Amino acid sequence: MQRKRLYLALIPLLAMSTSVLAQLDTISITATKLERESKSVPQSVYIIDEKQIETENATSINELISTIPGVTAVSKNNGYDSRLIIRGAGLKAPFGVREIMVIRDGVPMTDPDSFTRFDVIDIDDVEAIEVYKGPGSIFASNATGGVVFIQSKSVFDDQQDRIKVGYGSFNTVKLNAKKSIQVSEQDSFAINFSRRQSDNNWRDWNEFDTTQFSVKHGHLFNDNSVIETEIAYTQSNLQLPQSLSAAEYEAYKDTGETTNTGGAWQKSGRYSNTLFVNSRYETTMGEYAFKPQIYMTRWDHFHPVTGIINDSQDNTVIGTDLAWSRSHDFFNMPSEQIFGIGVRADLQNDAKKYEYADVTTGFGGRITQVNSDEKGDLANIEDSDSQIYSAYMQESFSPSSKWKIDLGIRTDLLSMNIKGTEFRSYNFATGTYQAGSGDYQYQETYQLVSPKIGASYALTDTINLFAIAVSANQAPTANEMQANQTYNKSDLKGATSSNFEFGLKQRGSKFSADLNVYYTQLTDEIVAVKDGTITYYENAGQTERKGVELSAQYQTTASISLGVNASAMDYRYIDYISSGSDYSGNRPRFIPDYQYALSANWQKHSYSARVETIGFGPYYIDDANTERDQGYDGVTNIMLGYSKKSHLLNLSVRNLFDQRYAQEVSKTTGFTTSYYYTPGTPRNLMLTYQYKY
């Protein structure tokens, strides 16, 4: 009934859209590697611009994208960590981002095997964020869930000079300084420094800090060619608190504070250093525009997790993308053509794993508590390399002034090679370390193909209809293959996602809206199986995902606008049998019946205000569908702003009413039944002052 009420609520909004005829200034995006008005792109695209980023007074990417219809973003500590899910993709990952590609200025922040690190994203150097939901973006390799495209501030923007300071709850501190230098008519530099830190003392073991520094250079050639280069360094330190037990969660609801003592592994974290280099060039070659790009990331991390300490000091991601585009006639129809090739490699040398040295043991030697993240005996040493070779092509043509048709295909060859020696391993059943299995080696190659056809039709000057049919593949990750080898489970096959979607896009001076209805069928979807204390992976035979998404904003007066983001979801396993249990017909865990975010914005002269309230509907907490969590409603945020000349003051209060709720609840069964809760952040304030010069 709740889902039917949401569907019915969309009808008056659609009727309203047909009565708004004035044209709203549109935003050009890069969904197809060519600038195009968002309403003419036959795909679900959500855009967050610089104004919204400043209004939100955001401290992380999570705060900006968590209200997008169809997107779920969970953070344990309100820092840069994120568990990101788009239309169910990424659900199998217990942490981090999988099946979704994150790209910054054309460079994949996602490794070839689909793991993404958000710690290198500087929120104070973001110009815009574009989220493409579902397969079909020409950017996406090995990512059936979609793309998060992050555009940083241009080196040629001479309006970015500023000093920004902020202080908030839990001793949160923000510092940012930018300086642009134009040394000649052809050469510009931009220097950026950022620092964020918080002790997050509402939870044990929950501190984080990050320091980021970058230098950008841009050169304009006499023939109007341009080259932009960036060198950036990031140091990030993140403590990762445990999920709460049922008793700890009840205590949190009573007191507003949590403990970190429910399990043995109390010292998890990720501490890393990253050097990032990116250079992109744009020129013309006859009738073609040529856009080559090269990039490299060098990183190391110290990463204590459950049972083991990862210490990897020699990691390199290097790649290039060569794209050509041209305007031409396609069977006497005006057309834009783009094609390109790319290669990317992820090289990891001499990665080591260690036992924990400082532990407390109980009966039978079981580890009952980790007292520090001090390294013990060497448990594992490993080398790995993953390469992905890509080719893509798309033709976008117009049979008439009202039509835009996209025909495209992308193919990627993914090769993964892992070899190492396991000296010691952690036995989850006994809670002790044991002799390892010795030498091992995995080699897998996957051919990933993604064809698509999309069409957009201008119904009126302000309304476009679109439809898209697209298919894409998702390969297993290296960690998933290793987990299955460790627990003697079956080898994994790559998944195939086929998406069919149609929708409406309205762009008016008073009312703008996007309405999408989609049906996605997955074959051999890779799902996580939680068996007591261990997690391994299986292929579900077939899964279907159906949903509707709405994003709308209405300008009621010159000063006030109202907004709604909402989605309703019906996801089910059509054919899924795991360890003798038949889950066919069941719904996946942690997929809510609906999500919503309602907002009101006010701006007059130098003053502005925004209030938003967020809800997350009921969902099952296990694949057997024996129990449901009721989600949450009415988590409210408020933002206040004042600007005058070069001065800007922002105050944000998140979780205004200090609602104590769980962002995520899960249940595992085995020897015992256990519940795990990820609590939402209590009420927290952030005051930021910015001076532009």
State residue 16 phi and psi, 5-degree precision. -60, -40
Pairwise CA distance, residues 524 & 498, whole Å: 12
Exposed/middle/buried for residue 102 (C-beta within 10 Å: 0-12, 13-18, 19+)? buried
Q: 12 pLDDT exceeds 70?
A: no
Q: Tell me what pLDDT residue 661 has.
A: 95
Pairwise CA distance, residues 96 & 673, whole Å: 25
Q: Tell me what pLDDT residue 30 has.
A: 53
E strands in 306-402: 308-330, 333-356, 359-361, 367-370, 375-397
| pLDDT band at residue 25 using 50, 70 and 90 as cut-offs | very low
pLDDT digits (tens, 9 = 90+) for 48-102: 888 888 888 888 888 888 899 999 988 876 666 778 899 988 887 766 678 888 8
Contacts of 262 (CB under 8 A, 6+ apart): 242, 243, 244, 245, 247, 248
Three-class SS string for 250-303? HHHHHHCCCCCCCCCCCCCEEEEEEEEEEEEEEEEECCEEEEEEEEEEEEEEEE
Query: CA angle 604-607-610, nearest 5°?
Result: 90
E strands in 60-121: 71-74, 83-86, 100-104, 107-108
Of how many residues is the chain composed?
693
| pLDDT band at residue 15 using 50, 70 and 90 as cut-offs | very low
Within 10 angstroms of residue 430's Cβ, the number of other Cβ atoms is 12
pLDDT more than 70, % of the chain:
92
Q: 301 pLDDT exceeds 90?
A: yes
Q: 601 pLDDT exceeds 90?
A: yes
| pLDDT band at residue 115 using 50, 70 and 90 as cut-offs | low
pLDDT digits (tens, 9 = 90+) for 539-590: 888 899 999 999 999 999 999 999 999 999 999 999 888 777 888 999 999 9
pLDDT digits (tens, 9 = 90+) for 350-377: 999 999 999 999 999 999 999 999 999 9
Within 10 angstroms of residue 500's Cβ, the number of other Cβ atoms is 15
pLDDT digits (tens, 9 = 90+) for 484-543: 777 767 778 888 999 999 999 999 989 999 999 999 998 888 877 776 667 778 888 889
In the chain, the number of structural domains is 1
pTM for the model: 0.88
Pairwise CA distance, residues 641 & 655, whole Å: 18
Contacts of 216 (CB under 8 A, 6+ apart): 155, 189, 190, 191, 192, 228, 229, 230
**Among residues 420, 104, 415, 129, which one has the least CA distance to residue 274?**
104
DSSP state of 306: T
Q: Tell me what pLDDT residue 79 has.
A: 63
CATH number at residue 307: 2.40.170.20
> Contact at 8 Å (CB) between 692 and 646?
yes
> Contact at 8 Å (CB) between 681 and 653?
no
Pairwise CA distance, residues 123 & 127, whole Å: 9
b (16+ CB within 10 A) / e for 81-98 = bbbbbbbbbbbbbeebbb
Pairwise CA distance, residues 95 & 161, whole Å: 36
Q: 47 pLDDT exceeds 70?
A: yes
Q: Domain range holding 299?
A: 2-692
β pairing state of 146-152 and 100-104: parallel
pLDDT digits (tens, 9 = 90+) for 195-254: 999 998 888 899 999 999 999 999 999 999 999 999 999 999 999 888 898 989 999 998
